[in-house]
């Protein structure tokens, strides 16, 4: 099963609703995103001017080490271009992987969509 991606906008926050597997170079299943991997989609959003990106992981059932690398790459891409990236509702297995890889220390991991949206800009303002 490949990674599926829906894109929606809530105010100035772009939400990527992901579902499926985030693993070794899994392309999006079909549609205009066909052939892209997560970090490329994030880079595309940043290049189009999006600065607040929320990855909704509630539909992602599995992330392997390559998928963790994609999350890290997406985070690095966002940070290097002055954008923010947050994670929303990772499943237990995904949350465990984030802890083991220490990605949970880099990425804001939220459980409530409205709280996540409100949190954009706060970490940058505090720093």
Q: Tell me: the pLDDT tens digits for 4-51?
A: 889 999 999 999 999 988 876 544 443 444 334 687 889 899 999 999
Collect all residues with Cβ–Cβ distance below 8 Å to 13 and sequence separation of at least 6: 52, 53, 54, 117, 120
Query: Does domain 4-126 match CATH 3.10.290.20?
Result: no
Collect all residues with Cβ–Cβ distance below 8 Å to 115 and sequence separation of at least 6: none
What are the sequence ranges of the domains in the chain? 4-126
Q: How far apart are CA 63 and CA 33, in angstroms?
A: 19
Distance of CA 86 to the CA centre of its chain: 6
Q: Could you please report the per-residue DSSP string of 58-83?
A: EEEEEE-HHHHHHHHHHHHHHHHTT-
Lowest mean pLDDT among 21-25, 63-67, 90-94, 123-127: 123-127
Q: Tell me: the pLDDT tens digits for 69-121?
A: 889 989 999 999 999 999 999 999 999 999 999 999 999 999 999 999 999 97
């Amino acid at each position: 099963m490949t990674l599926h991606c829906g894109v929606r906008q809530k105010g100035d926050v772009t939400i990527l609703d992901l579902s499926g597997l985030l693993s070794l170079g899994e392309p999006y299943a079909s549609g205009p995103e066909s052939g892209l991997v997560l970090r490329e989609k994030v880079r595309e959003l940043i290049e189009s001017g999006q600065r607040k990106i929320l990855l909704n992981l509630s539909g992602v059932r599995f992330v392997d080490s390559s998928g963790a690398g994609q999350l890290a790459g997406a985070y690095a891409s966002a940070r290097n271009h002055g954008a923010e990236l947050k994670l929303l509702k990772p499943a237990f297995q995904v949350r465990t992987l984030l802890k083991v890889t220490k990605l949970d220390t880099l990425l804001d991991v939220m459980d409530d969509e409205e709280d996540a949206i409100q949190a954009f800009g706060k970490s940058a303002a505090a720093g």
